[in-house]
Amino acid sequence: MTSWFTALGLPFGWAWFIATIIDILLIALPLMLAVAMIIYADRKIWAAMALRKGPNVVGPFGLLQSFADGLKVFLQETIIPAAANKGLFLLAPIITFTVALIVWAVVPFQAGWALANINVGLLYVLAASSLGVYGIILAGWASNSKYPFYSAIRAAAQMVSYEVSIGFVLIAMVLWAGTFNLGGIVEGQKGHILGIFNAYGLNPLLFPMAVVFFISSLAETQRAPFDLTEAESELVAGYQTEYSSMAFALYWLGEYANVILMCTLNATLFWGGYLPPIDWAPLYYVPGILWLFAKILFFFFCFSWVKATVPRYRYDQLMRLGWKVFLPLSLFFVFLVSGYLMLTRVGI
Amino acid sequence: MIQAIAFYLFAFVVIASAVMVIFSRNPVHSVLWLILAFFNAAGLMLIAGAEFIAMLLVIVYVGAVAVLFLFVVMMLNIDFAELRAGVARYAAVGLALAVALVAEIIIAVSAWKVGGIELGRRIAATDESIPNIEAVGRLLYSRYLFAFEAAGLILLVAMIGAIVLTYRHRAGVKPQNISAQINRRSKDAVRMVDAPVGKGVEL
């Protein structure tokens, strides 16, 4: 888009600046719309699984429910507890929301369509998602209240634990891909399985890693069965207990933006991203972004499915799964994958 | 131009937040300022063309180390009055340390021969087409292989040491035995009996 603006006679710096701003808006605004619709979809899926109707009053089929909720929250009064640390209390939801947005900069939506096509794309994703924990810790501490604080401690331990195994899973995948660039990772999956399927996930050495990554991404986004940070039977509403109005809405938006992001990462890293599932020429006439959306929606359906069917973990079970099951397993697969690659690609 | 602005912005924020780490009264705020300093240092690394180091700085320091700092500081109940009470006693030692540090900084700065860092360019002489990660990897696994592996070994020893020091084997605790639970079958645990009236069942 920069070239289009330079063709209009703008100097390169300004053209780049304006084009980047437009690109950011082109990602962020549809993302917000997607979050609103995905909250609606989430509620409809749970309702269907519980044989209920779900939201069905506002708009046709209740489609406008999320917007009505947004308007309601917007009109509410922001209450800040007297004992809270005011600055940090307001900063925390902003951090969560911002972090949920900035990761999208490196996601490739179609061949060559990424806001920032950087070499260290995957590391950037890890760096940005490791910031997400601050929104929760700060909320818990700044609220100066018991339940949010417990929740913050749980969240910190949980996210740090699962990031370790996510890191090893990604190392196994990156070893195979040979690049940290997300676009390069997607292109590397083209015809990866026998020249037919476009997915690392179907590779027998990487399939277990894809499963571990899916489960870890549930833990990373604090979705059921790992939603111990907002376990309503123990912690009221967890770190969100003291929040109201727009601050609360920012948590909601950030949380769902993170969920969509994790679905996108699942699709991009292991299941071919914007490539069609099968490497067959006619399928490439469908724009890649539609394939990516289809995969995101599939993973989101799985997220909702899990939430609707699986009971919550106990905290020690959560820690056991992260440290005693996923960590050794992913470490083992790092060795296995690198050993296999040494054998086949480099030779002895 | 933009790079120069970004450089001075990051550098200013690093120094300012480092100063705030020392001067803020609340230790949690101190840790948060420290995180801001780490973050902007990562920005400086990016400008110097070391994107790999920048990302690692954020992942390791901001994402893991500082979280643990924050974790500990938040849970400690620090009594500020008690902390300040000892100032006079430690002032001499503190002053000596500060003088030594300032002297070191002065020596280091006066020995500056590197020249201005060219912003946005790599200083190390690697081919521009090789990505940063690959350049670092090639150096680490060839010239510095032994140093690198020794560092890994030292960290491993430190980790095992920490586990050995903190692990306590307590008697009388009944932990959950997951495999025993999963392997338990209903025939081992449940018995169908027809209890005769007035006699009950022998267990």
As beta bridge partners, residue A113 has A110
Task: Using alpha carbons, list the distances in angstroms from residue A142 to A157, A242, B53.
Answer: 18, 10, 32
Q: Does A137 touch chain B (CB under 8 A)?
A: yes
* Predicted complex: ipTM over 0.90: no
Q: What are phi and psi of A176, to 5 degrees?
A: -75, -45
pLDDT computed for residue B123 by the predictor: 52
Among partner residues A88, A126, A141, which is closest to B59 by beta-carbon distance? Answer: A126
- Does the N-terminal peptide bond of residue A30 adopt cis geometry, omega within 30 degrees of 0? no
Q: Chain-wide mean pLDDT for chain B? A: 81
Alpha-carbon gap: A130 to the closest alpha carbon of chain B (Å)? 5
**pLDDT over 90 at B150, yes or no:** yes
Q: Does A120 touch chain B (CB under 8 A)?
A: yes
pLDDT mean over B162-188: 84
Rounded to whole angstroms, the Cα distance separating A337 from B94 reads 52
pLDDT confidence bin for B152, thresholds 50/70/90:
very high
Q: Does A130 touch chain B (CB under 8 A)?
A: yes
Share of chain A above pLDDT 70, in %: 97
List of chain B residues whose C-beta atoms are within 8 Å of the C-beta of residue A156: 67, 70-71
More confident residue, A5 or B31: B31
When scoring B55, B70, B73, B75 by the number of chain A Cβ atoms within 10 A, the one with the most, hence best to mutate, is B55
Widest pairwise Cα distance in chain B? 100
Per the CB < 8 A criterion, the answer to whether A333 and A208 are in contact is yes
pLDDT computed for residue B128 by the predictor: 62
pLDDT mean over B74-81: 68
Which residues in A89-102 are b (16+ Cβ under 10 Å) and which e?
bbbbbebbbebbbb
pLDDT computed for residue A3 by the predictor: 64
List of chain A residues whose C-beta atoms are within 8 Å of the C-beta of residue B51: 118-120
**pLDDT over 80 at A270, yes or no:** yes
The verdict on a CB contact (< 8 Å) between A123 and B52 is: yes
pLDDT mean over B103-131: 66
Rounded to whole angstroms, the Cα distance separating B139 from A328 reads 29
Rounded to whole angstroms, the Cα distance separating B93 from B100 reads 11
List of chain A residues whose C-beta atoms are within 8 Å of the C-beta of residue B75: 153
Per the CB < 8 A criterion, the answer to whether B24 and B30 are in contact is yes
The verdict on a CB contact (< 8 Å) between B55 and A320 is: no
Rounded to whole angstroms, the Cα distance separating A136 from A240 reads 9
Residues A34-58 pLDDT 10s: 888 888 888 888 888 888 888 888 8
Residues A223-252 pLDDT 10s: 878 877 777 777 777 777 778 778 888 888
Block residue for tokens 């060559």: A112
Residues in contact with B189: Cβ distance below 8 Å, sequence separation at least 6, in sequence order: none
pLDDT computed for residue B151 by the predictor: 93
B100: its two tokens: 């030594």
Assign residue A347 a region: left if phi > 0, alpha if psi is -120 to 50, beta otherwise?
left
Nearest chain A residue to B26 by CA distance is A85
